[in-house]
Structure 1
């Protein structure tokens, strides 16, 4: 097939979207509020930040297996398994798919009911178009002061078919994946339901830097947790879906919609004891989880579908146990700093094909140690703001041995939550565990730094070492109306509502 670049996606029947630059902050899926961050006593010793190898990436034109040519087949990238490890986003514009990574024939179970906004929910389309653009601006605002962060001017974007001139790859996508998705929708007081259908007109634009840069100074940077209308994704996959590594669920037995384990939604900045949304990926038997996912560990937030872990989108179904080939896993997306996100396998700097393994371990809380000296109870937080103080989650040991120390008035059956179910239960082991750094990243045999998917916490790029791209922040459809205070940011010149950048 021709390798002519798709520069103007009019042939797919949707309008080119006007991009407006805003500043973005994280809104976790369960909602957000803010206050002073709590501290834990005693304070653990600081953990040194590992330094990724900043060696330039390998030649992007050789040594990689291109992705299957599927864009002109009836279903496009439906359930596609990718093969290319090329870290250069331009490779996915100029391959035989011409930058078209969309799919057709998708079933959305959240829209199957009569009266659903996208009824009947079958034979739906995922739109993903990637092209090349030149964006004015730069990483460095002042050449004499490289520590001063720069910025990209997304209001001035020039399309190009010259890969050497391009500063970014531009992804235009409707946030619908290349596979079936969804769950039954019901009222907020019902069990085991989603509360909103997925929006199929959630058109967004994401910019992927051609030459991502490490931050200076080099730090492991997590996404901020601030109360805004935005959801700041930690990565975007080639099927156009965002990944959110933070949690909006926490231990809060006082909440009006607390579940039987004492967890609820609505947890933002200042909260403690965040429940790991995708914990059942490593502990399938876990009970009474607050989050409800489909089989891809995806769900909706205010109409936008996204992942909290990556099980097998764009990868083979058995990649958790079997390497997909001699070269390791394919690139499945890009983190918010522009560095690649791969599957679960890579060739390390020693030349060995290895499975990515998390570098995190369970914290050893000092309370009620067992015969091996491992604490059986969580250490309570101190200095927590009164309206954020909801107690400490009990463990199974606590329920058996000191249930009287906990408030179980919200449930008829006291439930102990095993160690490992909360983000607060984990700590990076400073390189002594696994083969990944604290952001779930590693450098491969070609000198390419990237982030990897694991079946253990933290599952993906929980933080990043590069300069963040602000376009990874999105306004979900049900929050668009909240932006009406500035109509110029909501409607295009034809009066049509645009996406929430």
Structure 2
């Protein structure tokens, strides 16, 4: 039995469950629920390093939502650190939940995620609430977070297309295993003629993705009001990430690197930042192949923001193949292609290696 969570029984460690709902997993989970009487620790607490095949969750986080033998179980992933590295979405079959807080508003939310699969694809359904607290003091959300029901189909056996597909404002880029979508492109750009333009000539909304000087949400000083998880809301209250979620993986990866934390619209997995470098045998962060352009953008005008390239705009970057990752911000490790979270642009991915599934259309 593969596992993504380990607990400690009176007799030692054993695999309790993976993020996949088999009958054996349910049986082990039932055992885990009574460990408190044994004097053992039921799970690794949030923030602690996980073992080689587990999700680190708070003690007592795995819960039976039915109370009847044989019924489905729901796994509490509040502040969970994932560890499974499989690129097959079917290995994450489960019903997941979390209890989190909108910090500034002082409101509690319950996250709900269901992942199911068949021979060809997986279906991930969620209410778009993350498995971590959000809207901290650093955030300036334009709209309050709201539950938004969404469902996505993820191909189990994605393949590379003859050509890559560019990101689009009309397409959700991916969905994380906590049910929150990845939506990297902004609708902001350099448009000094707009009545909503700021002192630098930038406007936060109303620009197509074909704009010459499209703003990078994580390159702008304001980060578009994003919180500590590089996320903010759309007008309908949809909470979404623009980069590293700062959740689901940490800086203490397992021997094979960071876990899968989500899936892109084309079905390829999204990993955290770390991978096992086959050349050195060490685990390290993946490095983006994009480089900040040198020099100046040119003379400031109605069509050019001028100034030095500093990462404010997507066009400040160019692909130079200077890192580990390809132009889509992905690579193949041990036979598995995937996208990686990086510390620099494009943050998670910049194009699709395969064909995006239509369920990711907005």
TM-score bracket, shorter-length normalisation: 0.7 to 0.9
Shift of 1:108: 1.8
C-alpha deviations, 1:277-326, integer Å up to 9, x for none? Answer: 0126xxxxxx4x3611011010011221100011411012xx2xxx4222
Matches within 5 A, 1:251-266: 251-264=190-203, 265-266=205-206
Deviating above 6 A after TM superposition, structure 1's stretches of 4 or more consecutive aligned residues are none
Higher CA-based Rg: 1
C-alpha deviations, 1:27-62, integer Å up to 9, x for none? Answer: xxxxxxxxxxxxxxxxxxxxxxxxxxxxxxxxxxxx
Shift of 1:77: 0.7
Distance (whole Å) between structure 1 residues aligned to residue 175 and residue 158 of structure 2: 15
Shift of 1:259: 2.3
Distance (whole Å) between structure 1 residues aligned to residue 56 and residue 120 of structure 2: 26
Shift of 1:473: 2.5
Change (3 A) 1:394 1:210: same
Q: Structure 1 stretches of 5 or more lacking a match?
A: 7-63, 94-98, 113-119, 134-165, 185-191, 226-230, 281-286, 365-374, 382-388, 397-417, 475-501
2:133 corresponding residue in structure 1: 180
| Paired residues of 1:100 and 1:129 also in contact (CA < 8 A) | yes
| Paired residues of 1:65 and 1:85 also in contact (CA < 8 A) | no
Whether 1:470 and 2:361 are equivalent positions in the alignment is: no
| Pick aligned residue for 1:439 from 328, 347, 361 | 328
Return 241-250 or 267-276, whichever deviates more.
267-276
Distance (whole Å) between structure 1 residues aligned to residue 151 and residue 299 of structure 2: 42
1:309 corresponding residue in structure 2: 243
| Pick aligned residue for 2:156 from 207, 210, 233 | 210
Matches within 5 A, 1:418-433: 418-429=309-320, 431=321, 433=322
Shift of 1:5: 10
Shift of 1:3: 2.0
Secondary structure of 2:166 counterpart: coil
| Paired residues of 1:249 and 1:291 also in contact (CA < 8 A) | no
Q: Structure 2 stretches of 5 or more lacking a match?
A: 1-15, 26-51, 66-74
Equivalences, count: 301
Q: Which has the higher strand share?
A: 2
Change (3 A) 1:307 1:269: closer
Whether 1:457 and 2:345 are equivalent positions in the alignment is: yes
Shift of 1:68: 5.2
TM-score between the two structures when normalised by the length of structure 1: 0.56
Matches within 5 A, 1:68-467: 70-72=61-63, 76-93=76-93, 99-104=94-99, 106-109=100-103, 112=105, 121-122=107-108, 124-133=109-118, 166-182=119-135, 193-200=140-147, 202-215=148-161, 217=162, 219-225=163-169, 231-264=170-203, 265-279=205-219, 287=221, 289=222, 291-302=224-235, 303-316=237-250, 319=251, 323-350=252-279, 351-364=281-294, 375=295, 377-379=296-298, 390-395=302-307, 418-429=309-320, 431=321, 433-444=322-333, 446-467=334-355
1:37 corresponding residue in structure 2: none
Change (3 A) 1:66 1:246: same
Shift of 1:183: 6.2
TM-score between the two structures when normalised by the length of structure 2: 0.76
Change (3 A) 1:469 1:66: farther
Secondary structure of 1:79 counterpart: coil
Aligned-pair Cα RMSD in Å: 2.7
Shift of 1:193: 3.9
